[in-house]
């Protein structure tokens, strides 16, 4: 699961590697992240691993329990709803700014999103991870076009924290790509009022599906509160 890291730019590489594992939920919720084990698997010293874990704590992706160590974060339905709602407020504000300024269509001139519609429109169903990352990319790009860098950084962080939830949401939908394709189309055409309404509909759908997402077998470990993590893992690690 963990690959050997080159000596060059070690801290950056450790961060990239561990963050990917965390946001893709390769470690179960509530699991203790053992610094020594991670360092051994990555073939680095414990210092870059510790620095990376502290950075992930600051980003809200994991938690640091005093005298116990670092643990995967456990999200409750309320936690996830709060993240959805702040993301919605930020993207609706961004779209309002685009509507007022009449900036050209959101996909034009963005190489990283130019082929997104083609990727999602493939005959076979896109993977759940593709759906999740595509959704996040659309949110981030809209925020970038609105021109507020603070909002961009906040949405990027929310994308990381909601990535696994969006994967789970995709799993319970028959055609999860369809709403995204319509959003992309309206963005390319520069129909910002319609795009804003589509974002409202997407948010409402996510809130509606949230209880079902929480009941998925793969997300049962997400149920609970952040405060309960220490209690749960304490029994496991003694």
pLDDT (tens place) for every residue of the chain, 238 residues total: 565 555 558 889 999 999 999 999 999 989 999 999 999 999 999 999 999 999 999 999 999 999 999 999 989 999 999 999 999 999 999 999 888 876 555 554 455 666 788 788 778 889 999 999 999 999 998 899 888 999 999 999 999 999 999 999 999 999 999 999 999 888 888 788 999 999 999 999 999 999 999 987 544 454 443 443 333 333 232 3
First vs last C-alpha separation in the chain: 25
> What does DSSP assign to residue 107?
S
pTM for this structure?
Answer: 0.82
Cβ contacts of 30 within 8 Å, gap of 6 or more: 71, 72, 74, 221, 224, 229, 232, 233, 236
Residues 170 and 132: beta-carbon distance below 8 Å: yes
Structure tokens, 12: 């950056």
Closest CA to 116 of 194, 181, 203: 181
For the chain, give every residue range classified as CATH 1.10.10.10.
10-74+225-237
Class of domain 10-74+225-237: mainly alpha
For the chain, give every residue range classified as CATH 1.20.120.
77-219
Task: Quote helix, strand, coil % in the chain, to nearest 5.
Answer: 70, 5, 25
Determine the pLDDT at residue 236.
Answer: 31
CATH architecture label of 77-219:
Up-down Bundle (1.20)
- CA atoms of 72 and 62, how far apart (whole Å): 5
């Amino acid at each position: 699961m963990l690959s050997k890291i080159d000596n060059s730019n070690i801290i950056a590489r450790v961060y990239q590697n561990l963050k990917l594992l965390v946001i893709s939920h390769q470690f179960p919720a509530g699991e203790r992240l053992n610094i020594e084990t991670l360092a051994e698997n990555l073939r680095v010293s414990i210092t870059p691993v510790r620095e990376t874990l502290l950075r992930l704590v600051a980003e809200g992706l994991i938690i640091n329990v005093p005298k116990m160590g670092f643990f995967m974060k456990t999200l409750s339905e309320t936690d996830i709803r709060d993240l959805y709602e702040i993301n919605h407020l930020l993207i609706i504000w961004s779209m309002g700014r685009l509507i007022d300024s009449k900036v050209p269509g959101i996909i034009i001139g963005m190489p990283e999103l130019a082929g997104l519609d083609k990727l999602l429109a493939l005959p076979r169903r896109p993977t759940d991870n593709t759906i999740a990352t595509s959704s996040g990319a659309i949110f981030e790009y809209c925020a970038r076009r609105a021109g507020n860098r603070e909002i961009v950084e906040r949405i990027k962080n929310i994308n990381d924290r909601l990535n696994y939830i969006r994967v789970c949401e995709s799993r319970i939908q028959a055609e999860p790509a369809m709403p995204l394709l319509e959003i992309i189309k309206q963005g390319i055409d520069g129909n910002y009022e319609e795009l804003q309404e589509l974002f409202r509909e997407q948010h409402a759908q996510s809130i509606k599906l949230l209880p079902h997402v929480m009941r998925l077998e793969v997300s049962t470990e997400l149920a609970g509160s952040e405060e309960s993590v220490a209690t749960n893992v304490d029994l496991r690690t003694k």
